[in-house]
Structure 1
Amino acid sequence: MSGGARIAVIGVGNDYRRDDGVGWAVIARLRERPLAPDTVLATCDGDPGRLIGLWEGARLAVVVDAAHAHPGTPGRVHRLALDAGQLPRPSATSSHGLGLGEAVELARVLGLLPERLVVYAVEGADSEFGTGLTPAVAAAVPELVGAVAHEIATGERS
Protein backbone atom coordinates (compact mmCIF):
# COMPACT_ATOMS: atom_id res chain seq x y z
CA MET A 1 0.00 0.00 0.00
CA SER A 2 1.60 3.24 -1.01
CA GLY A 3 1.86 6.13 1.41
CA GLY A 4 2.37 3.96 4.51
CA ALA A 5 -1.34 3.64 5.24
CA ARG A 6 -2.03 1.48 8.24
CA ILE A 7 -5.60 0.50 7.33
CA ALA A 8 -6.88 -0.40 3.85
CA VAL A 9 -10.57 -0.97 3.15
CA ILE A 10 -11.24 -2.45 -0.28
CA GLY A 11 -14.61 -2.87 -1.94
CA VAL A 12 -14.30 -5.59 -4.55
CA GLY A 13 -16.71 -6.02 -7.44
CA ASN A 14 -18.36 -4.43 -10.40
CA ASP A 15 -20.90 -1.66 -9.94
CA TYR A 16 -22.55 -2.65 -13.25
CA ARG A 17 -23.30 -6.27 -12.23
CA ARG A 18 -26.07 -5.65 -9.70
CA ASP A 19 -25.20 -7.33 -6.35
CA ASP A 20 -21.56 -7.64 -7.37
CA GLY A 21 -21.42 -3.92 -6.56
CA VAL A 22 -22.01 -4.40 -2.83
CA GLY A 23 -18.35 -3.78 -1.98
CA TRP A 24 -18.40 -0.53 -3.91
CA ALA A 25 -21.65 0.51 -2.17
CA VAL A 26 -20.04 -0.04 1.24
CA ILE A 27 -17.02 2.06 0.23
CA ALA A 28 -19.33 4.86 -1.00
CA ARG A 29 -21.12 4.91 2.37
CA LEU A 30 -17.85 4.82 4.31
CA ARG A 31 -16.67 7.88 2.36
CA GLU A 32 -19.52 9.78 4.07
CA ARG A 33 -18.24 8.94 7.57
CA PRO A 34 -15.37 10.30 9.61
CA LEU A 35 -12.70 7.58 9.76
CA ALA A 36 -9.23 7.27 11.22
CA PRO A 37 -6.84 9.50 9.23
CA ASP A 38 -4.63 6.54 8.33
CA THR A 39 -7.51 4.74 6.59
CA VAL A 40 -7.52 4.42 2.80
CA LEU A 41 -10.73 3.47 0.99
CA ALA A 42 -10.47 1.86 -2.44
CA THR A 43 -12.48 -0.10 -4.98
CA CYS A 44 -11.11 -2.97 -7.03
CA ASP A 45 -12.35 -5.33 -9.73
CA GLY A 46 -10.92 -8.33 -7.88
CA ASP A 47 -7.74 -8.78 -9.88
CA PRO A 48 -5.28 -10.49 -7.48
CA GLY A 49 -2.40 -8.19 -8.43
CA ARG A 50 -4.47 -5.07 -7.80
CA LEU A 51 -5.76 -6.44 -4.48
CA ILE A 52 -2.24 -7.19 -3.31
CA GLY A 53 -1.11 -3.71 -4.35
CA LEU A 54 -3.94 -2.13 -2.36
CA TRP A 55 -3.30 -4.02 0.88
CA GLU A 56 0.50 -4.24 0.66
CA GLY A 57 2.09 -2.75 3.79
CA ALA A 58 -1.23 -2.34 5.62
CA ARG A 59 -1.48 -3.25 9.26
CA LEU A 60 -5.15 -4.08 8.70
CA ALA A 61 -6.95 -4.76 5.43
CA VAL A 62 -10.71 -5.15 5.29
CA VAL A 63 -12.17 -6.52 2.05
CA VAL A 64 -15.89 -6.44 1.17
CA ASP A 65 -16.98 -8.64 -1.73
CA ALA A 66 -20.07 -10.28 -3.16
CA ALA A 67 -20.23 -14.05 -2.98
CA HIS A 68 -22.17 -16.93 -4.45
CA ALA A 69 -23.38 -19.71 -2.20
CA HIS A 70 -25.39 -22.80 -3.03
CA PRO A 71 -27.89 -22.81 -1.55
CA GLY A 72 -27.71 -19.11 -0.93
CA THR A 73 -29.41 -16.59 1.28
CA PRO A 74 -29.13 -13.20 -0.43
CA GLY A 75 -27.88 -10.55 1.96
CA ARG A 76 -26.30 -12.99 4.41
CA VAL A 77 -22.87 -11.77 5.49
CA HIS A 78 -19.87 -14.00 6.23
CA ARG A 79 -16.91 -12.62 8.20
CA LEU A 80 -13.61 -14.36 7.54
CA ALA A 81 -10.41 -13.45 9.36
CA LEU A 82 -6.90 -14.30 8.25
CA ASP A 83 -5.39 -16.90 10.53
CA ALA A 84 -1.76 -17.97 10.19
CA GLY A 85 -1.55 -16.75 6.59
CA GLN A 86 -4.52 -18.71 5.25
CA LEU A 87 -8.17 -17.88 4.83
CA PRO A 88 -10.55 -20.65 5.84
CA ARG A 89 -12.48 -22.08 2.91
CA PRO A 90 -15.93 -20.46 3.10
CA SER A 91 -19.16 -22.02 1.86
CA ALA A 92 -19.52 -18.92 -0.32
CA THR A 93 -17.18 -18.23 -3.23
CA SER A 94 -16.14 -14.99 -4.84
CA SER A 95 -18.15 -13.81 -7.80
CA HIS A 96 -14.90 -13.29 -9.72
CA GLY A 97 -13.01 -15.85 -11.82
CA LEU A 98 -9.96 -15.87 -9.54
CA GLY A 99 -11.09 -15.81 -5.96
CA LEU A 100 -9.83 -13.86 -3.03
CA GLY A 101 -8.28 -17.07 -1.72
CA GLU A 102 -5.91 -17.14 -4.68
CA ALA A 103 -4.91 -13.51 -4.07
CA VAL A 104 -4.25 -14.31 -0.40
CA GLU A 105 -2.16 -17.36 -1.26
CA LEU A 106 -0.13 -15.42 -3.82
CA ALA A 107 0.42 -12.58 -1.34
CA ARG A 108 1.47 -15.11 1.31
CA VAL A 109 4.04 -16.68 -1.01
CA LEU A 110 5.37 -13.24 -1.99
CA GLY A 111 5.42 -11.99 1.62
CA LEU A 112 2.91 -9.24 0.84
CA LEU A 113 0.02 -10.05 3.19
CA PRO A 114 -1.24 -7.32 5.49
CA GLU A 115 -0.61 -7.94 9.17
CA ARG A 116 -4.33 -8.64 9.59
CA LEU A 117 -6.94 -9.39 6.91
CA VAL A 118 -10.69 -9.44 7.45
CA VAL A 119 -13.07 -10.33 4.63
CA TYR A 120 -16.80 -9.65 4.54
CA ALA A 121 -18.45 -11.81 1.88
CA VAL A 122 -22.06 -10.95 1.10
CA GLU A 123 -24.28 -13.53 -0.56
CA GLY A 124 -25.83 -12.02 -3.67
CA ALA A 125 -28.97 -12.79 -5.64
CA ASP A 126 -28.28 -11.20 -9.03
CA SER A 127 -24.99 -10.60 -10.84
CA GLU A 128 -26.47 -9.93 -14.26
CA PHE A 129 -25.71 -6.70 -16.11
CA GLY A 130 -27.40 -3.69 -14.55
CA THR A 131 -27.04 -1.24 -11.71
CA GLY A 132 -28.49 -1.26 -8.24
CA LEU A 133 -28.42 -3.87 -5.53
CA THR A 134 -31.30 -6.27 -4.97
CA PRO A 135 -33.38 -5.44 -1.87
CA ALA A 136 -31.88 -8.18 0.33
CA VAL A 137 -28.30 -7.15 -0.45
CA ALA A 138 -29.08 -3.43 -0.16
CA ALA A 139 -30.57 -4.11 3.27
CA ALA A 140 -27.25 -5.60 4.39
CA VAL A 141 -25.22 -2.48 3.48
CA PRO A 142 -25.90 -0.37 6.62
CA GLU A 143 -24.91 -3.24 8.92
CA LEU A 144 -21.80 -3.89 6.81
CA VAL A 145 -20.80 -0.23 6.99
CA GLY A 146 -21.12 -0.37 10.77
CA ALA A 147 -19.14 -3.62 10.98
CA VAL A 148 -16.33 -2.27 8.79
CA ALA A 149 -16.24 1.00 10.78
CA HIS A 150 -15.89 -1.12 13.92
CA GLU A 151 -13.00 -3.07 12.33
CA ILE A 152 -11.30 0.23 11.51
CA ALA A 153 -11.77 1.55 15.06
CA THR A 154 -10.49 -1.72 16.54
CA GLY A 155 -7.55 -1.80 14.12
CA GLU A 156 -6.67 1.77 15.01
CA ARG A 157 -6.37 0.85 18.72
CA SER A 158 -4.26 -2.27 18.20
Structure 2
Amino acid sequence: MSLRTRIAVIGVGNEFRRDDGVGWAVLDRLRERATERPLPPGTVLATCDGDPARLIGLWEGAGLAVVVDAAHAHPGTPGRVHRLELDAGQLAHPPTTSSHGLGLGEAVELARVLGVLPDHLVVYAVEGADSALGTGLSPAVAAAVEPLVRAVESEAARHRDPATGGRA
Protein backbone atom coordinates (compact mmCIF):
# COMPACT_ATOMS: atom_id res chain seq x y z
CA MET A 1 0.00 0.00 0.00
CA SER A 2 1.34 3.41 -0.93
CA LEU A 3 2.05 6.05 1.68
CA ARG A 4 1.51 8.97 -0.68
CA THR A 5 -0.74 11.52 0.97
CA ARG A 6 -0.66 14.52 -1.38
CA ILE A 7 -4.05 15.36 -2.88
CA ALA A 8 -4.29 17.06 -6.27
CA VAL A 9 -7.59 18.68 -7.24
CA ILE A 10 -7.50 19.69 -10.90
CA GLY A 11 -10.06 21.80 -12.72
CA VAL A 12 -9.76 21.11 -16.44
CA GLY A 13 -11.09 23.32 -19.20
CA ASN A 14 -11.18 26.81 -20.59
CA GLU A 15 -12.95 29.49 -18.57
CA PHE A 16 -13.51 31.46 -21.78
CA ARG A 17 -15.61 28.70 -23.43
CA ARG A 18 -18.69 28.97 -21.22
CA ASP A 19 -19.54 25.51 -19.74
CA ASP A 20 -16.04 24.24 -20.50
CA GLY A 21 -15.03 26.40 -17.52
CA VAL A 22 -16.90 24.31 -14.95
CA GLY A 23 -13.67 22.79 -13.60
CA TRP A 24 -12.22 26.26 -13.10
CA ALA A 25 -15.44 27.42 -11.40
CA VAL A 26 -15.27 24.52 -8.94
CA LEU A 27 -11.64 25.34 -8.11
CA ASP A 28 -12.51 29.03 -7.64
CA ARG A 29 -15.27 28.07 -5.20
CA LEU A 30 -12.98 25.67 -3.30
CA ARG A 31 -10.46 28.51 -2.90
CA GLU A 32 -13.20 30.86 -1.63
CA ARG A 33 -14.33 28.28 0.95
CA ALA A 34 -10.80 27.46 2.11
CA THR A 35 -10.89 29.84 5.08
CA GLU A 36 -14.15 28.35 6.43
CA ARG A 37 -13.66 24.75 5.26
CA PRO A 38 -9.97 24.07 4.69
CA LEU A 39 -9.02 21.04 2.68
CA PRO A 40 -6.56 18.57 4.25
CA PRO A 41 -2.91 19.64 4.46
CA GLY A 42 -1.01 18.75 1.31
CA THR A 43 -3.95 19.46 -0.98
CA VAL A 44 -2.98 21.27 -4.16
CA LEU A 45 -5.59 23.11 -6.25
CA ALA A 46 -4.67 23.60 -9.90
CA THR A 47 -6.29 24.44 -13.21
CA CYS A 48 -5.29 22.91 -16.52
CA ASP A 49 -6.26 23.25 -20.16
CA GLY A 50 -6.51 19.47 -20.54
CA ASP A 51 -3.10 18.83 -22.08
CA PRO A 52 -2.20 15.23 -21.07
CA ALA A 53 1.41 16.11 -20.16
CA ARG A 54 0.25 18.94 -17.88
CA LEU A 55 -2.37 16.72 -16.25
CA ILE A 56 0.24 14.06 -15.56
CA GLY A 57 2.59 16.65 -14.08
CA LEU A 58 -0.15 17.91 -11.76
CA TRP A 59 -1.19 14.50 -10.42
CA GLU A 60 2.22 12.80 -10.38
CA GLY A 61 3.10 11.66 -6.87
CA ALA A 62 -0.44 12.16 -5.55
CA GLY A 63 -2.18 9.68 -3.32
CA LEU A 64 -5.49 11.05 -4.61
CA ALA A 65 -6.21 13.09 -7.72
CA VAL A 66 -9.67 14.55 -8.28
CA VAL A 67 -10.32 15.94 -11.76
CA VAL A 68 -13.33 18.09 -12.65
CA ASP A 69 -13.97 18.55 -16.36
CA ALA A 70 -16.75 19.39 -18.79
CA ALA A 71 -17.99 16.61 -21.03
CA HIS A 72 -20.10 16.20 -24.12
CA ALA A 73 -22.76 13.51 -24.14
CA HIS A 74 -25.08 12.49 -26.95
CA PRO A 75 -27.83 12.78 -26.03
CA GLY A 76 -26.86 15.02 -23.16
CA THR A 77 -28.42 16.42 -20.04
CA PRO A 78 -26.68 19.70 -19.19
CA GLY A 79 -25.52 19.76 -15.59
CA ARG A 80 -25.60 15.98 -15.14
CA VAL A 81 -22.47 14.80 -13.31
CA HIS A 82 -20.70 11.51 -13.93
CA ARG A 83 -18.32 10.18 -11.25
CA LEU A 84 -15.62 7.86 -12.54
CA GLU A 85 -12.86 6.08 -10.64
CA LEU A 86 -9.63 4.61 -11.82
CA ASP A 87 -9.89 0.85 -11.52
CA ALA A 88 -6.72 -1.23 -11.87
CA GLY A 89 -5.10 1.27 -14.19
CA GLN A 90 -8.09 1.62 -16.51
CA LEU A 91 -10.57 4.46 -16.52
CA ALA A 92 -14.11 3.32 -17.21
CA HIS A 93 -15.42 4.85 -20.43
CA PRO A 94 -18.56 6.90 -19.79
CA PRO A 95 -21.13 7.75 -22.45
CA THR A 96 -19.37 11.14 -22.72
CA THR A 97 -16.26 12.55 -24.27
CA SER A 98 -13.93 15.25 -23.04
CA SER A 99 -14.42 18.69 -24.49
CA HIS A 100 -10.71 18.69 -25.41
CA GLY A 101 -8.99 17.16 -28.45
CA LEU A 102 -6.83 14.77 -26.44
CA GLY A 103 -8.84 13.62 -23.49
CA LEU A 104 -8.37 12.39 -20.01
CA GLY A 105 -8.28 8.79 -21.23
CA GLU A 106 -5.09 9.50 -23.15
CA ALA A 107 -3.52 11.14 -20.08
CA VAL A 108 -4.44 8.13 -17.93
CA GLU A 109 -3.02 5.66 -20.43
CA LEU A 110 0.21 7.63 -20.82
CA ALA A 111 0.58 7.95 -17.04
CA ARG A 112 -0.04 4.21 -16.66
CA VAL A 113 2.69 3.40 -19.19
CA LEU A 114 5.08 5.82 -17.48
CA GLY A 115 4.22 4.49 -14.02
CA VAL A 116 3.07 7.88 -12.69
CA LEU A 117 -0.63 7.38 -12.04
CA PRO A 118 -1.91 8.66 -8.71
CA ASP A 119 -2.82 5.94 -6.21
CA HIS A 120 -6.48 6.83 -6.66
CA LEU A 121 -8.08 8.91 -9.42
CA VAL A 122 -11.63 10.27 -9.30
CA VAL A 123 -13.07 12.17 -12.25
CA TYR A 124 -16.18 14.31 -12.17
CA ALA A 125 -17.37 14.90 -15.75
CA VAL A 126 -20.14 17.48 -16.11
CA GLU A 127 -22.33 17.49 -19.19
CA GLY A 128 -22.33 20.95 -20.70
CA ALA A 129 -24.87 22.89 -22.73
CA ASP A 130 -22.76 25.67 -24.26
CA SER A 131 -19.08 25.71 -25.22
CA ALA A 132 -19.21 28.87 -27.33
CA LEU A 133 -16.72 31.65 -26.74
CA GLY A 134 -17.62 33.70 -23.69
CA THR A 135 -17.63 33.58 -19.93
CA GLY A 136 -20.20 32.31 -17.50
CA LEU A 137 -21.76 28.91 -17.11
CA SER A 138 -25.20 27.93 -18.37
CA PRO A 139 -27.79 27.75 -15.56
CA ALA A 140 -27.82 23.93 -15.45
CA VAL A 141 -24.02 23.68 -15.23
CA ALA A 142 -23.79 26.55 -12.73
CA ALA A 143 -26.26 24.65 -10.50
CA ALA A 144 -23.84 21.69 -10.43
CA VAL A 145 -20.91 23.72 -9.05
CA GLU A 146 -21.84 23.77 -5.35
CA PRO A 147 -22.67 20.02 -5.19
CA LEU A 148 -19.36 19.34 -6.97
CA VAL A 149 -17.49 21.45 -4.42
CA ARG A 150 -19.03 19.42 -1.60
CA ALA A 151 -18.22 16.17 -3.43
CA VAL A 152 -14.56 17.17 -3.86
CA GLU A 153 -14.34 18.15 -0.18
CA SER A 154 -15.81 14.77 0.73
CA GLU A 155 -13.32 12.89 -1.51
CA ALA A 156 -10.44 14.70 0.20
CA ALA A 157 -11.80 14.04 3.69
CA ARG A 158 -12.33 10.31 2.96
CA HIS A 159 -8.80 10.08 1.61
CA ARG A 160 -7.44 11.53 4.86
CA ASP A 161 -9.68 9.69 7.33
CA PRO A 162 -9.14 5.89 7.43
CA ALA A 163 -12.24 5.51 9.66
CA THR A 164 -14.43 6.54 6.71
CA GLY A 165 -12.67 4.43 4.11
CA GLY A 166 -9.80 6.82 3.42
CA ARG A 167 -6.50 5.74 2.01
CA ALA A 168 -4.06 7.89 3.97
> TM-score, length-normalised on structure 1?
0.96
Match of 1:53, SS state, is helix
- What is the rounded CA distance, in whole Å, between the counterparts of 1:148 and 1:100 in structure 2? 18
Aligned residue identity for 2:8: A
1:1-158 matches, within 5 Å, as: 6-33=6-33, 34-157=38-161, 158=167
**1:67-118 CA-partner distances (Å, limit 9, x unpaired):** 0000000000000000000101110110000010000000000001000000
Q: Secondary structure at the match of 1:89?
A: coil
Query: What is the distance in 2 between the residues matched to 1:127 and 1:155?
Result: 33
Secondary structure, aligned partner of 1:28? helix
Give the match's secondary structure for 1:8. Answer: strand
Task: Out of 31-40 and 68-77, give the one that drifted further.
Answer: 31-40
Using the size of structure 2 for normalisation, the TM-score is 0.91
Return closer, same or farther for 1:49/1:81 CA change in 2, 3 Å cut-off. Answer: same
Contact 1:82/1:117 (CA < 8 Å) preserved in 2?
A: yes
Gaps of 5+ in 2: 162-166
Considering only aligned residues, what root-mean-square deviation do their CA atoms show, in Å? 0.9
Q: Which runs of no fewer than 5 residues in structure 1 stay unpaired?
A: none
Structure 1 match to 2:164: none
